[in-house]
Structure 1
Amino acid sequence: MARPRLVPAVAAGAALVLGATALTASPAAAGPGGHDRPHRWVQKTLQQMTLEQKVGQLFVPYVTGATADTASPENLARFGVATPAEAVQKLHLGGVIYFAWSDNTQDPQQIAALSNGLQEAALAPADDERRGKKAPAVPLTIATDQETGIVARVGPPATVFPGAMALGAGRDLRATRDTYAITGTELRAIGINTDYAPDADVNVNPANPIIGVRSFSSRPELVADHVTAAVRGLQTDGSVSAVAKHFPGHGDTGTDSHSDLPVITHTRAEWEEIDAPPFRAAIAAGVDSIMTAHISFPELEPNGDPSTLSKKVLTGMLREELGFQGVIATDSLRMEGVRKKYSDEEIAIRAVEAGADVLLDPQQPALQYQAVLDAVRDGRLSERRIDASVRRILAMKYERGVVRDPLVKEHEVARTVGTPAHLARAQEITDATPTLVTDDADLVPLPAGSTLVTGFGATGVPALAEKLTARGHRAEAFTTGSTPTAAVVAEAVTKADAHDTVVVMTSSATKSPAQQQLVAALLATGKRVLVVAVANPYDISVLPGVQSYLVTYSTTPVAVESVARLLDGAIRPQGTLPVDIPSAADPATVLFPFGTGLTS
């Protein structure tokens, strides 16, 4: 495999993959470490590695800088060296993870150059080799969180999509596979060979503050089907390692694990029924890696430790019960959910003891690297245990083609990233996802007259107004933000008086009394109001009196374009709810059940 296979250029409407039959799981697939005879390269490389190099393979931190040679005080504080390239070499890093805030993802061309620079640093002769002892050349895992939708580190001109829950609303497995095939192909073209996606959580808690629309559905079987499609799209079509997350399941939390340790109260039987099926499906599909969750799950681990640090969960359940033989990666070790009980150094050691192979995004990479190294030298961790993880990591790199082809052709990036064919397919997929839950006010498509577009979204509100105007409608934009003040609400009401209809965008209005007040005030004008929920679909549960309600699941450009097409009558609504919408006052009462949607 000299080059990753590119998604073929196709016209909108054409399929990139076979139908649902192509998504049948292979019963023999068990991840990259599951083969009976490991690759000779893996064995030979492992034998040549020093302990320091082996331990380094477990670490995948972020590095700060737009280029491999960008000096940064933050790098100096975290690694003891100034540049990303020096950090890679000093700690013998197994990989890096890209973020926008660490200045890694400015644009596709810059990302490709950064990736090449980091790979060249990893492959450069080591000190041992310069002294005459041959050292193995091991390329990096270069990763990011490109779930699509609200979690996407690489934005336009790369192809964007509306996210997992939108795909769940579309109910089209081919569309999901194509979404992740295009995503993987474009990531690989800029040097990213691992995607921390798809999200395999089953979002059964409407109040979940961290998963929500990142999940495909509240139904385990639907999540499992789309996770399978996503894994095949990323790995088979895109030549990028997929990472299903967050094991053992983050879908029923009311707490954000970035800031605290959530507690899951499911019984073991409920876990088997609700949380486990998507992970079983991912394993059956041959997923390269599975990410842990920083959650307390007393039924599975009674000592209160997060699952990331639980040997019962990672080794006992994921490895032994579910039979996963691929790479286990922790969620970010900078998150408070895993840092409540132990020091950063202890966290790194305990994660390895639990069964983790990759220590992702550590808070103090140099200190934590040294802690793991010392734990091996002191006998707390055996070198055999480290070897087991390194073998799985090397196998993943080899089997996904990273060893054979670590560098990308920077001058060819534009041939793959954001191509007209990819953009057309993304829009076609998105057009089938918006869900018209109810339309008693008869506002889709928009009636004749003028329209005020208002509400949440500094880009979405003006973009929709502009798109409607371009289609011949009379539309005015007035952005109110996520927490409009009483004065802003009053101004929105004044503007509404000058129009025939109102389109108001909401985002997680269930947690925003100010947005609820805005919608109530607009309804009180007597104008016909269409509410467009651009995040979680549950907003209508706190918006009494709303007669017309549309859900887009994201504010990505393709989602806004789909709304404009719907309101103009160019397309008809096709999506159906992938979750129940319960009453806010009585969660046991379902207002709009799974499958609701006014479709043509």
Structure 2
Amino acid sequence: MNKITSIFLLFSILITGNVSAQATAPVTPEFLQYENSKWVDSIMKTLSPDERIAQLIMVAAYSNRGDEHRKEILKLIKEQKIGGLIFFQGGPVRQVRLMNEYQAHSRVPLLGAIDAEWGLGMRLDTTISYPFQMALGAIQDESLIYDMGAEIARQIKRTGLHLNFAPVLDVNNNPNNPVINYRSFGEDKYNVTSKAIAYMRGMQDHQLLTTAKHFPGHGDTDTDSHYALPQINHSRARLDSLELYPFREVVKAGIGGVMVAHLDIPALDPTGVPSTLSKPIITQLLKEELGFQGLTVTDAMNMKGVTVGNEPGIVDKDAILAGNDLLEFTEDVPKAIQEIRKAINKGLISQAEIDRRCRKILAVKYWVGLNKFEPTSLINIIEELNTPRANHLNKKLARASITVLKNENNILPVKKLQGLRIASVSIGVEEQTNFQKTLSRYTRVSHFNLKNEGSAGDIHTLKNELGNFDLVIAGIHDDSKFPRNTLKISAEVQSFLKELVSEKNTIISLFKNPYVLDKLENIEKAAGLIVTYQDTQNYQELAAQLIFGGSGSSGKLPVSVGEKFKVGEGLVLEDGLRLSYAIPEDAGMDSGILNKRIDSLMQEAINAKAIPGGQVLVARNQKIVFHKAYGTQVYHDTIKVKKEDLYDLASVTKISASMAALMKLYDEDKFHPNQTLSNHLPSFRRSNKAEIPYRDILTHQARFQPWIPFWKNTKRKNGSYKWATIKNDSSARFPIRLTNTMYLHRNYPDKIVKEIRKSPLREEKKYVYSDFFFILAPRVVESRIDTDFSSYLKESFYEPLGATSLTFNPLAKFPKSRIVPTEDDYNFRHETIHGTVHDEGAIMMGGVSGHAGLFGNAFDLAKLLQMYLNKGEYGGVRYINEETIEEFTRRQFPDSENHRALGFDKPYYNEKGESRNTAQDASASSYGHTGFTGIMVWMDPEYDLLYIFLSNRVSPTRENSRLYRLNTRTQIHQVLYDAIKKFGE
């Protein structure tokens, strides 16, 4: 380019700048009002000319380096009087401790900065990383991004810092960009701008200064300026219309700072110098044309994009001459001050101009509160950086960004579960992922893993296995925490994926950079395609929840992916089909209350040997917000309780099996509370129970005896078993297994029924809890169906709900290690009860009864109980009519002392108005049940609240009543209501 052309270009820039200045009205950054404040004046008077230069210098500090580094920083503070520090890697406690020390040795408070584009987790351990900007670019609700900015401001300030080098305003229109890419909000300039302004305002509204970067636009390059000087060869018109657009708009919006990149942009400065050193770009374009008055900051002055061919110190001087106010990461501070002093002496820049920039730095310090500096407290800093609300926000951001690109035949969310054979394949990992574990919470899923470089043999074996499944869910995982545009999958695995999406009903979840989709042939043919933008626990769990309708999607693709998908694509899927997994704040509950108090109460019970261990699950608004396992399976062992463990649900079987079946039959006009046992069981037509309505029976006021110890009738007075009761070996006549050496006569269940039929009635009609009817319930149900009780429940409820662990006789389906033992039985079975029902009557009925015998884990029990809370609907399926749920769960005799519903328990109170069986604050509409083995479940429609407490308090003996005396279950129940009240304060 010749000299005349250069002059013409410079003249054009100046003219354009004048026109723009007249057409726009940039907002003056707030901190500038303090440039001439008394505090700034007082500091200026104390500074020598060289110290005023030093205020423009910010050096790099680390909290993960040794004492030698600490001494180097202290020396620069004491001897060179630098103005600030930018912190890089380390930890929050170490950083705060160092910053406090550095501040103590600085006569003028130091300005502290950090490069925290996605939060402190970008630099510091034990802190939160929010989604990368590309994921944020998919979010449609920008108030979430504002909230993130506000929260990041709080966290950065909590670590003693004042300036965040964010947000990134680069428009990433080059998929091969190695340095910006996922750090950009995307390729659409309007989306980039609106997201950046929301992020900026969230921070600056909460007194944290921000810097828009990397001016004038680093998005369209395939060179990383950390290692070389990228060149951008677009015309001025193109730069104006695209790259400069976001910067122009954030200046109008009042951004406090702008960071200048190391770029060679001939259309803006034909000399070839990096933009960081370019007066036409910084002074003339940014300050004069765009009207920016805030803090102009260099990108790191140690990057190859600016250091190649430029000496330390001299390059810093050139950056100041170009118009920068703040030098970031100066490598040679004494030399930089010396070179800037020489430039002043030569008349290249005036001392007055240096003073003006110094005042600007001091004004920033005043605005962020350094005029009243106090050391940062270390007390509770980790807890205060990782608050529940901060984690809640993180999850909300992730959920709002997930983008669904394909949903053929509405495969998402998966609705029908019964009979559906599902496999998951995690590609790029060798162990079961959180994605797969979360899938298993919804239904039975078989899991497989395939390495990125999986062999032909591995793939052949896997393909044969997948042939047995109706649906394949594949997760494509990342091997890096940074979602770069790279694909390290072998050609064989890529071919397998191509075949999979073409031939099988397949859902793909990509936990990688969306640009990778362009490198996967036929990926667009998947029936379902989900993009999460990065591979974190949050994203893995949310993607799995989305697949089964626990979570929804609203994200829109922020970039185009070749010819396959265009920017802005994304399907909206509603949530709420099934239970989701969230944090308490997501459901209006205080997690601090829940975690601390439930943990404390459970530990108290374990320490008192009331229970060896247990589980607590809490769901509100169809969100599981708390689920923890505590202690061990038994006292004398070290096997810790796992959330997947199955418990003997004891009398909770009544509402989880019997009442489910009876309510369904009621809907089908095959059962009615006004009918009697004689309507279903002919043998009861001439009994003393023939005319007693089920309404009285199910509310326990039928005058039935509480119980009969049926097992005692198997024995003679000398303790031996009667001939027609129990044998050591199984046979056609003795098929009912009690233990490996005890088999019950096939007719004994009929004998139990006969004993119930002949049992006398109590004289007074009042509430007396009895198991009798529920022992009969399977026969009542079976009188109106074409299958057995257990199969009916499985086919009608458990399988369609995905509640695959709810089962009778669990040893037939699950390993013993997954089943929690109950009592050491020294009276009847003479062994530890492990894997079979604790209740003697239930085991004598073959392990299948309506009063006890059901096993399950909290995950699956929650699905059934949530269906009740949903008035009979779950997963898009109507199981029981709404009116039926309301009828069966209401108090049947409100004008009497009987507090019961039909089969369900209800709250009841003593004469002082104190609850005797549930939380004091449980509503009158709530209902549930307890179990003898230490179980409690409770549902409260008024609060849409579900509570499950699982334990084996009968281990090693049923005589242990400490759980009752401690009142642990109801105390924990009250904690849930306290957490709701606390959140609302």
- What TM-score comes out, normalization by structure 1 length? 0.81
Instruction: Tell me if 1:268 matches 2:229.
Output: no
C-alpha distance in 1 between matches for 2:162 and 2:459: 47
C-alpha distance in 2 between matches for 1:183 and 1:66: 21
The superposition leaves residues 31-59 of structure 1 with CA deviations (integer Å, 9 ceiling, x where unpaired) of: 25644962222233123201332222222
Cross-structure match for 1:54: 52
Instruction: Tell me if 1:152 matches 2:122.
Output: yes
Alpha carbons of 1:295 and 1:568: their partners in 2 closer, same or farther (altered >3 Å)?
same
Instruction: Tell me if 1:430 matches 2:398.
Output: yes
Runs of 4+ in structure 1 displaced over 6 angstroms? none
Alpha carbons of 1:441 and 1:152: their partners in 2 closer, same or farther (altered >3 Å)?
farther
What secondary structure does 1:578 align onto?
coil
1:170 alignment partner AA: I
Instruction: Tell me if 1:454 matches 2:426.
Output: yes
* 1:186-201 equivalences in 2 (<5 Å): 186-201=155-170
Q: How far apart are 1:503 and its partner, in Å? A: 1.9
1:421 to 370, 380, 389: 389
Cross-structure match for 1:277: 245
2:487 alignment partner AA: S
Instruction: Tell me if 1:30 matches 2:16.
Output: no
C-alpha distance in 2 between matches for 1:559 and 1:370: 51
Q: Which has the larger displacement, 29-38 or 324-333?
A: 29-38
2:155 alignment partner AA: E
Alpha carbons of 1:407 and 1:451: their partners in 2 closer, same or farther (altered >3 Å)?
farther
Cross-structure match for 2:40: 42
Instruction: Tell me if 1:505 matches 2:482.
Output: no
Q: How far apart are 1:281 and its partner, in Å? A: 2.3
1:147 alignment partner AA: E
The superposition leaves residues 286-311 of structure 1 with CA deviations (integer Å, 9 ceiling, x where unpaired) of: 22211011111111011111111100
Aligned length: 533
What secondary structure does 2:167 align onto?
coil
Cross-structure match for 1:165: 134
C-alpha distance in 2 between matches for 1:37 and 1:369: 23
1:466 alignment partner AA: K
C-alpha distance in 1 between matches for 2:151 and 2:538: 15
The superposition leaves residues 323-371 of structure 1 with CA deviations (integer Å, 9 ceiling, x where unpaired) of: 1111111111121111233222321111111011111123444544443
What secondary structure does 1:87 align onto?
helix
1:120 to 104, 113, 131: 104
C-alpha distance in 2 between matches for 1:57 and 1:300: 29
2:545 alignment partner AA: R
1:212 alignment partner AA: N
Cross-structure match for 1:4: none
Q: Which has the larger displacement, 532-541 or 296-305?
A: 532-541
Cross-structure match for 2:215: 247
C-alpha distance in 2 between matches for 1:168 and 1:345: 38
Alpha carbons of 1:456 and 1:113: their partners in 2 closer, same or farther (altered >3 Å)?
farther
Cross-structure match for 1:533: 510
C-alpha distance in 2 between matches for 1:359 and 1:549: 45
Cross-structure match for 1:142: 112
The superposition leaves residues 88-136 of structure 1 with CA deviations (integer Å, 9 ceiling, x where unpaired) of: 3233221111222xxxx22x333322322222222xxxxxxxxxxxxxx
Q: Percent identity over the alignment?
A: 28
C-alpha distance in 2 between matches for 1:150 and 1:138: 25
1:249 alignment partner AA: G
Alpha carbons of 1:64 and 1:509: their partners in 2 closer, same or farther (altered >3 Å)?
closer
Q: How far apart are 1:529 and its partner, in Å? A: 4.7
Are the equivalent residues in 2 in contact too, given 1:506–1:539 (CA < 8 A)?
no
Cross-structure match for 2:935: none
Q: How far apart are 1:243 and its partner, in Å? A: 0.9
Are the equivalent residues in 2 in contact too, given 1:533–1:552 (CA < 8 A)?
yes
What secondary structure does 2:88 align onto?
coil
* 1:6-405 equivalences in 2 (<5 Å): 29-32=27-30, 34-35=32-33, 38-66=36-64, 70-72=66-68, 75=69, 82-100=71-89, 105-106=90-91, 108-122=92-106, 137-148=107-118, 152-156=122-126, 158-237=127-206, 239-376=207-344, 380-405=348-373
Alpha carbons of 1:362 and 1:38: their partners in 2 closer, same or farther (altered >3 Å)?
same
Cross-structure match for 1:567: 547
The superposition leaves residues 224-264 of structure 1 with CA deviations (integer Å, 9 ceiling, x where unpaired) of: 11111111101113x21111101011111121111111111
Alpha carbons of 1:427 and 1:65: their partners in 2 closer, same or farther (altered >3 Å)?
closer
Unaligned runs of at least 5 residues, structure 1: 1-25, 76-80, 123-136, 584-590
Cross-structure match for 2:705: none
Alpha carbons of 1:340 and 1:35: their partners in 2 closer, same or farther (altered >3 Å)?
same
2:520 to 537, 540, 543: 543
Alpha carbons of 1:287 and 1:402: their partners in 2 closer, same or farther (altered >3 Å)?
farther
Instruction: Tell me if 1:598 matches 2:571.
Output: yes
Instruction: Tell me if 1:521 matches 2:496.
Output: yes
Are the equivalent residues in 1 in contact too, given 2:170–2:243 (CA < 8 A)?
yes
2:562 to 582, 591, 595: 582
The superposition leaves residues 442-470 of structure 1 with CA deviations (integer Å, 9 ceiling, x where unpaired) of: 764467545444335799x7332333345
Alpha carbons of 1:413 and 1:314: their partners in 2 closer, same or farther (altered >3 Å)?
same
Alpha carbons of 1:510 and 1:229: their partners in 2 closer, same or farther (altered >3 Å)?
closer
C-alpha distance in 1 between matches for 2:161 and 2:449: 39
Q: How far apart are 1:518 and its partner, in Å? A: 2.8
2:73 alignment partner AA: P
Q: Which has the higher contact order (CA 8 A, sep 6+)?
A: 1
Q: Which has the larger displacement, 109-118 or 247-256?
A: 109-118
Q: Which has the larger displacement, 58-67 or 507-516?
A: 507-516
Unaligned runs of at least 5 residues, structure 2: 1-23, 574-985
Question: Which structure's CA Rg is the greater one?
Answer: 2
What secondary structure does 1:580 align onto?
coil
C-alpha distance in 1 between matches for 2:279 and 2:325: 12
C-alpha distance in 2 between matches for 1:493 and 1:337: 48
- What TM-score comes out, normalization by structure 2 length? 0.51
Are the equivalent residues in 1 in contact too, given 2:86–2:114 (CA < 8 A)?
yes
Instruction: Tell me if 1:555 matches 2:535.
Output: yes
Are the equivalent residues in 2 in contact too, given 1:329–1:358 (CA < 8 A)?
yes
C-alpha distance in 1 between matches for 2:454 and 2:558: 34
Q: How far apart are 1:149 and its partner, in Å? A: 7.6
The superposition leaves residues 529-549 of structure 1 with CA deviations (integer Å, 9 ceiling, x where unpaired) of: 544333432222121111243
What secondary structure does 1:139 align onto?
coil
Are the equivalent residues in 1 in contact too, given 2:261–2:275 (CA < 8 A)?
yes
C-alpha distance in 1 between matches for 2:341 and 2:277: 18
What secondary structure does 2:371 align onto?
coil
RMSD after superposition: 3.0
C-alpha distance in 2 between matches for 1:112 and 1:150: 13
Q: Which has the larger displacement, 402-411 or 464-473?
A: 464-473
Q: How far apart are 1:317 and its partner, in Å? A: 0.7
Q: How far apart are 1:322 and its partner, in Å? A: 0.9
Alpha carbons of 1:28 and 1:315: their partners in 2 closer, same or farther (altered >3 Å)?
closer
Are the equivalent residues in 2 in contact too, given 1:294–1:338 (CA < 8 A)?
yes
Q: How far apart are 1:29 and its partner, in Å? A: 2.5
The superposition leaves residues 449-498 of structure 1 with CA deviations (integer Å, 9 ceiling, x where unpaired) of: 45444335799x73323333455553647474xxx4464x7646645654
Alpha carbons of 1:242 and 1:260: their partners in 2 closer, same or farther (altered >3 Å)?
same
